[in-house]
Chain A
Amino acid sequence: MARDVSAGTEVELKLAADPETLERLWQAPPFRSDDAATPKIKQLENTYYDTADLRLRKRGLAFRIRRDGTRFIQTVKTGDDTAAGLFSRGEWEGEVPTAEPQLDVIDDPEIRAALGLILPGELRPIFTTRVHREVLKVNGTDSLGRLKVIEAAFDRGVIEAAGAEQPLSEIELELVEGTPRALFDLALALQDIAPTQLETRSKSARGYALATGRRPAWHTAKPLDLKPQTKTDNALAAILETCLLHWTANEAAAFDGSDPEGVHQLRVGLRRFRSALSVFRELLPEDHYTWLNGEARWALASLGPARDWDVFLAELLSPLEKERPEDEDLAVLRKAAERRRDEAYDQVRETLSDPRYTRFLLRLGGWLEDRSWHCAALTPAQAVWLDQPLITLANKLLTKRHRKTLKLGRNFDKLSIEKRHEVRLAVKKMRYTTEFFRSLYAAKTEKPYLKAMRGLQESLGHLNDVAVAETLLAELTGPGAGRRPAGLQQAAGKVIGWYAYGVLSFEPEMRQNWKAFAKTDPFWTKKLK
């Protein structure tokens, strides 16, 4: 997310909604004020070009030629990759004589370098967007009284590729003057009039998806580049933003649902976000923490069942099916579990389309842009902490969480399953904390600790999967589950029995993993112990 509107960088937000909603918003007060200029109407035809092996796409570029009446405008956008940024992209633009791509006219060496080698005639049309665009300018001030000018483009049309067609209906809010906060404020104001969804994919990303017929891809988190001397305030902003980008980049894949990794990564992003909040909790105004944590927890909980059923089917039921290929009871169970999973994915789609979710993203986006935690509620002590180099906080927190984990795991061999779940949660927190801060320390010194922690987390995670499976199976077979087909109870019993024994036989390894972790030296300090 760019902090200011500088040359070559666009700051924009896209809101998707059906054409009727667009119509309602078009009539809404923000666009009907006296200073709002008369709308401009344009018919836009954009053709996107790429090589046959889609190298521009692989490089995160979009190359398009726009037909504007009798003129042709060639545009190259960089960073056109969902995970690269939510709201801003670099670009080069210039007029060309025909609809044929012209590489020679691109005078920016960095953009030219980004394109790489293109052989003569190698660029060919991949897809075309045809849009009826109505543009309004919104002048005024944002919620803090700062001047703003926003251009709102109402787009209706289609994306065409390889004989397929997809409707397109969205509002693009582009910042002409002012702070990015103004965009979020306007988007939130529109939300009160009619619900829309934050569209994080560019038109080109959707075009490529249509042209290639590929399912939306999932994404892992972008690595953080924090230095020991990074101001805590900047680190806080960078960490939370990385989490936000991580989970929003996985919305499309989660919505699609064909790869379990989509929902999984989305949840990992949200969970890391909550972890980050807890890391920085003492440095934030309490009501800010409560709000952000509450919304993230709500989203996580709504997406939980989909992940639980995915894990159950792939990691618990599948191995058992392999051992007992002829078992008809297991087939009955699979059918029932798959139905539950499908329902859970309906819930995923509902959540991502929920106005509450959009509102959360918009408020969070504005909050991050403005670093709104610097408000009247911030105490002087918190302000001092935020001004410190990150390493101070990192050392303190790592020590605190390390000690807590050791304390919870004392007498590990004798701990009940419930107590071990507490250890599991502590280890998980520790894991995320080390992930946020790992770039502050020498990678070599971290290795043994991270390895021991991963081993422990894996065995404890298995314990949890089995516990979740028991809950899911109870739900499937218990009272209120409706009609229970013959064989379902038997299958549930087999699964539970199988893994109860599995956990038993796994016990020595888990104890071993705990022992290995407990005696591994921390990497952030020598003094501990």
Chain B
Amino acid sequence: MITILVANPKGGCGKTTVATHLAAAFANSGLRTALADVDKQGSSLGWAKARPEGAAAIKAIDWHNGAEKMPKNVDRLVIDLPAAMKMGKIDDMLRLADVIVVPVLPSGFDVAATGDFLKKLESLKPIRKSKAAVAVVRNRVQLGTRSAAQLDSFMVGVGFKGVGRLRHRTIYTEVAGQGLSIFDLPGKQYDELRDDWAPLLRYIENSDPEISVLAASR
């Protein structure tokens, strides 16, 4: 199993969009997938409940009281962390994670807050499960704009590997209300948007602890 933690103390950077989309990508790929919501507001839970019958199954887990027992027979567990969370409480979640996905918006304000968060993550390295990988993903990017370029220089500066960028599109908000994702939509129309996610998904797949066990034996 790969446990993916979607986290950033900065609100509104698209954590729930990223978490639900990752879960839907895994589920649509035939993997047994669970989505755990740690947020009291329960946006991810609500999304999972609204999911129509016939869509690839995602097991929704309510963790707003903290991580309870780990789900069984699950291949991918995506954890959606709330924005306002004390660093101490995040520790417990960090211990579970194989990959930490940090969405960041291209605004100067967001970039600074995320930088602080990444520094804290770095200082917490020893407690992270097998030094879980950190993937910074740029969200709601308008290609070719000045803020997109700023974000690029920020990514180089923080020393964390940026793993792809997700373009800004209204379709994300449109499907969210129906408990769907762009991975659930048929047709080639959204292939380009889906491609945006490929680097992040590949990065997560390569962070599989089973892969590192095998790699270590080589």
Chain A residues with CB under 8 Å of chain B are 51, 53, 55, 58-60, 81, 83, 103-104, 106, 109, 112-113, 116-119, 217-220, 222
Q: A55-B211, A58-B206, A59-B208 are in contact. Are A219 and B218 (CB under 8 A)?
A: yes
- Contact at A119–B201, with CB atoms within 8 Å? yes
How many residues in B have their beta carbons less than 8 Å from beta carbons of A? Answer: 23
8 Å CB contacts to A: which residues of B70-113? 73, 75-76
B204: nearest residue on chain A (CB-CB)? Answer: A117
Chain A residues in 8 Å Cβ range of B217: 81, 83, 219-220, 222
Given contacts A53-B206, A55-B206, A117-B201, 5 further A-B pairs with CB under 8 A are: A103-B30, A109-B32, A112-B30, A117-B76, A118-B29
Q: A53-B202, A53-B206, A119-B198 are in contact. Are A106 and B30 (CB under 8 A)?
A: yes
Min Cβ gap B59→A in Å is: 14
CA distance A217 to B217 in the complex (A): 9
CA distance A116 to B201 in the complex (A): 10
Contact of A117 among B31, B211, B218 (CB under 8 A): B31
Chain A residues in 8 Å Cβ range of B47: none
Among A58, A60, A217, A220, max chain B CB count under 10 A is at: A58
Task: Judge if B174 is at the interface, Cβ distance under 8 Å.
Answer: no
B22: nearest residue on chain A (CB-CB)? Answer: A117
Min Cβ gap B122→A in Å is: 25
For this complex, 18 residue pairs linking A to B, each with C-beta atoms less than 8 Å apart, are: A53-B206, A55-B202, A58-B206, A58-B211, A58-B214, A59-B208, A59-B214, A106-B30, A113-B31, A113-B32, A113-B75, A116-B205, A117-B25, A117-B26, A119-B29, A119-B202, A217-B218, A219-B217
Chain B residues in 8 Å Cβ range of A55: 202, 205-206, 211
Chain B residues in 8 Å Cβ range of A222: 217
B25: nearest residue on chain A (CB-CB)? Answer: A117
CA distance A59 to B208 in the complex (A): 9
Q: A55-B205, A58-B206, A59-B208 are in contact. Are A116 and B214 (CB under 8 A)?
A: no
CA distance A103 to B28 in the complex (A): 11
A104: nearest residue on chain B (CB-CB)? Answer: B30
CA distance A55 to B215 in the complex (A): 11
8 Å CB contacts to A: which residues of B168-218? 198, 201-202, 204-206, 208, 210-211, 214-215, 217-218
B27: nearest residue on chain A (CB-CB)? Answer: A117
CA distance A106 to B30 in the complex (A): 9
Chain B residues in 8 Å Cβ range of A83: 217
CA distance A333 to B88 in the complex (A): 60
Chain B residues with CB under 8 Å of chain A are 2, 25-26, 29-32, 73, 75-76, 198, 201-202, 204-206, 208, 210-211, 214-215, 217-218
CA distance A81 to B29 in the complex (A): 25
Q: How many Cβ-Cβ contacts under 8 Å join chain A to chain B?
A: 55
CA distance A219 to B217 in the complex (A): 5
Among A119, A217, A218, A222, max chain B CB count under 10 A is at: A119
Contact of A116 among B31, B198, B215, B218 (CB under 8 A): B31
B2: nearest residue on chain A (CB-CB)? Answer: A116
Min Cβ gap B136→A in Å is: 19
CA distance A74 to B105 in the complex (A): 43
Chain A residues in 8 Å Cβ range of B210: 59
CA distance A406 to B76 in the complex (A): 52
CA distance A383 to B205 in the complex (A): 49
Chain A residues in 8 Å Cβ range of B26: 117
Chain B residues in 8 Å Cβ range of A51: 202
Q: A113-B32, A117-B31 are in contact. Are A59 and B218 (CB under 8 A)?
A: no
Min Cβ gap A367→B in Å is: 26
B203: nearest residue on chain A (CB-CB)? Answer: A53
- Contact at B29–A58, with CB atoms within 8 Å? no
CA distance A219 to B203 in the complex (A): 25
Chain B residues in 8 Å Cβ range of A60: 214
CA distance A222 to B217 in the complex (A): 8
Min Cβ gap A136→B in Å is: 35
CA distance A273 to B31 in the complex (A): 41
- Contact at A116–B32, with CB atoms within 8 Å? no
Contact of B31 among A53, A81, A112, A219 (CB under 8 A): A112
Chain B residues in 8 Å Cβ range of A218: 218
A217: nearest residue on chain B (CB-CB)? Answer: B218
Chain A residues in 8 Å Cβ range of B73: 109
CA distance A104 to B29 in the complex (A): 9
CA distance A81 to B31 in the complex (A): 23
Min Cβ gap A104→B in Å is: 7
CA distance A450 to B114 in the complex (A): 43
A109: nearest residue on chain B (CB-CB)? Answer: B32
Min Cβ gap B142→A in Å is: 25
Chain A residues in 8 Å Cβ range of B218: 217-219
CA distance A116 to B211 in the complex (A): 11
CA distance A83 to B215 in the complex (A): 11
Chain A residues in 8 Å Cβ range of B201: 117, 119
CA distance A79 to B26 in the complex (A): 23
Chain B residues in 8 Å Cβ range of A219: 217-218
Min Cβ gap B210→A in Å is: 6
Chain B residues in 8 Å Cβ range of A103: 29-30
Contact of A81 among B30, B198, B202, B214 (CB under 8 A): B214
- Contact at A59–B31, with CB atoms within 8 Å? no
B74: nearest residue on chain A (CB-CB)? Answer: A113
Min Cβ gap A489→B in Å is: 42
Min Cβ gap B40→A in Å is: 30
CA distance A220 to B29 in the complex (A): 34
Min Cβ gap B75→A in Å is: 4
